[in-house]
Amino acid sequence: MTIGDDIRNQVRARARFACEYCGVHETDAGGLLTIDHFHPASKGGDDDLDNLVYCCVRCNQYKRDYWPESPSDPSLWNPRQEQAATHFIALDDGKMEALSEKGRFSNNLLHLNRPALVAYRLKKQKVLDDAQWLERYRQLATVLEQLVEQQSQVIREQRDLLAEQQELLRRLLEQLNG
């Protein structure tokens, strides 16, 4: 089964150009990712858009052509049909913790806590944290600029009031001495 460029581009765009299993973006992978048949073609899956998952080479290799052979076999998490948050939670140490049996099975099958992927998540989180700090710094700088301008305005008003007071005192003294 050959997947045409139009379908490939639809799958890529729908996935926001990142692996739908582990989240690695194609710019971080250094190129295009692969198209995976969630229900493998070798086990009866088709080229329907809902069966196609954009994924990195590693996740595709680890998944292989897994498909449950019987109802008692574990199911793999389908990123096209279920939110990751239903089955996983990201920990501060960059690892993914499973929240469900499907999450545990998927985590193990896809090796979602492989060292390079954990390092990727930590780096991505640091970039996000740095961006948040930078935005907070920009907000504080804007507030500080506004405060400096307000303070300058108050100083100008105080200077004008002081000049008025001096003029009034001068006139009072002239009247008293006059």
The string of pLDDT tens digits covering residues 85-139 is 999 999 999 999 999 999 999 999 999 999 999 999 999 999 999 999 999 999 9
CB count within 10 Å of CB 8 equals 15
Is 54 within 8 Å of 12 (Cβ atoms)? yes
Closest CA relative to residue 37, chosen from 26, 29, 45: 45
Half-sphere exposure of 83 (CA within 13 A, CB side): 3
Q: How far apart are CA 115 and CA 128, in angstroms?
A: 20
Q: State the pLDDT confidence band at 28, using cuts at 50, 70 and 90.
A: very high
pLDDT at 1: 52
Is 43 within 8 Å of 75 (Cβ atoms)? no
Q: What is the CA radius of gyration of the chain?
A: 31
- Average per-residue pLDDT in the chain? 95
CA-to-CA dists, residue 80 to 2, 39, 122, 132, 141, angstroms: 20, 12, 25, 30, 42
Mean per-residue pLDDT, 129-150: 96
Mean per-residue pLDDT, 25-31: 94
Is 56 within 8 Å of 27 (Cβ atoms)? no
